[in-house]
Amino acid sequence: MTRKHYEKFAEYLLQGKEGEAVKLVDKLLTEHPRLYLFEDIITPAMYYIGVLWEKNEISVADEHLATAGCDFVISRLDAGVYENNFKSEKRKKIILLGAEEEQHYLGLKMVAGFYREKGWRVRYLGPNLPLDHALSQIKDWQPDVIGLSAALSYRLPVVKQMTEAFSQLSWSPGIIIGGRIAKKYDLSNLETGQVRVVKGLAELEQVHNVWKAGVVDETS
Ligand code: B12
């Protein structure tokens, strides 16, 4: 049943039928939380599109079309979860960025939506951020947590380098590493008391619940 939904969603994206994709998402939203849409529909649909692309069953242009449609659907899902729904300046802060040269960002964008919904203040810096630029923004805003995303195995050295640099920040922010790289490879050697490797949004929900204990009220 679920498999059919994500395949159907992928089909709509590949056919450029954004309206149909939106209708399907809206229908599913009446029965499921946003997290389900992110984790069990959109993500597997994009992975499925990756498989079709790898097998040459779709073209690069098809895959770009699907990516653009998917980006639109995620933005639409985010609409309504505005920062100013939550007034307190005491809210926790997270900065999200993609490792230098990394172009895959849809997952990171979902993480931004995830935290906005939780009432956090979010700075989503998108993909491909060089370390020095990331550091100047981070030092300026002093987030409680930094989220780093990467997809490709050859990003491992830069992920390690960025994680080490973030670990040395004076106020010891939490650091979460995610993305395809975290799902496919064992990054446990990067984990410390400060650094967590998170394989997906369901796991992020668990990590979040643990961190939430003892933390200021996020929504007041
Ligand atoms: C769309 C896409 C692209 C788009 C990306 C556009 C964009 N805006 O993101 C474009 C066209 C740019 C692209 C380019 C490339 N791609 Co590409 N791409 C894909 C595709 C089809 C989907 C990616 C995606 O959006 N997935 C859906 C998201 C939601 O999944 P996700 O990122 O894993 O996120 C989830 C979790 O990981 C988590 N998460 C993500 N980030 C974070 C961060 C934190 C902090 C946390 C907690 C969690 C978290 O949240 C999400 C929900 O659980 C994948 C297929 C796949 N299997 O992923 C190939 C894929 C990743 N790409 C691939 C390749 C080869 C490339 C290129 C090298 C192709 C080329 N020759 O140019 C380039 C590299 C570009 C670069 N410099 O980075 C390969 C990688 C294979 C490999 N061996 O590593 C794949 C697997 C396709 C394939 N089957 O061959 N790609």
Convert the pLDDT of each residue in 59-92 to its tens digit: 999 999 999 999 999 999 988 776 556 666 678 9
Note whether 12 and 103 are same-domain residues. Answer: no
CA of 98 to the centre of ligand 1 (A): 11
Residue 146 pLDDT > 90, yes or no? yes
Candidate of 104, 159, 191 to mutate for ligand 1, largest count of ligand atoms within 8 Å of Cβ: 104
Q: Which residues contact 131 (CB under 8 A, 6 or more apart)?
A: 100, 158, 161, 162, 165
Q: pLDDT class for 25, splitting at 50, 70, 90?
A: very high
Note whether 93 and 187 are same-domain residues. Answer: yes
Residue 220 pLDDT > 50, yes or no? no
Separation of alpha carbons 45 and 41, rounded Å: 6
Range of the domain at 10: 2-78
Note whether 65 and 116 are same-domain residues. Answer: no
Q: Is the CB of 195 under 6 A from ligand 1?
A: no
pLDDT of residue 219: 43
Does the residue 217 lie in any domain?
no
CA of 85 to the centre of ligand 1 (A): 31
Note whether 104 and 40 are same-domain residues. Answer: no
CA-to-CA separations, 213 to 34, 73, 217, in angstroms, rounded: 23, 32, 10
Region 119-148 average pLDDT: 96
Region 161-172 average pLDDT: 98
Using left for φ > 0, alpha for ψ between -120 and 50, and beta otherwise, residue 101 falls in left
* Phi, psi values for residue 56, rounded to 5°: 65, 25
Residue 39 pLDDT > 70, yes or no? yes
Give the count of alpha carbons within 13 A of 61, CB side only. Answer: 2
Q: pLDDT class for 29, splitting at 50, 70, 90?
A: very high
Residue 50 pLDDT > 50, yes or no? yes
Q: Is the CB of 103 under 6 A from ligand 1?
A: yes
Note whether 102 and 184 are same-domain residues. Answer: yes
Q: Is the CB of 151 under 6 A from ligand 1?
A: yes
Note whether 98 and 174 are same-domain residues. Answer: yes
* CB-based contact 201:35 (threshold 8 Å): yes
Return mean pLDDT, the chain: 92
Residue 172 pLDDT > 90, yes or no? yes
Q: How many domains does the chain have?
A: 2
Note whether 145 and 92 are same-domain residues. Answer: yes
Domain boundary among 78, 99, 115: 78
3-state secondary structure of 95: strand
Does the residue 220 lie in any domain?
no
Pick the atom of ligand 1 nearest to 147's CA.
45
Separation of alpha carbons 85 and 81, rounded Å: 7
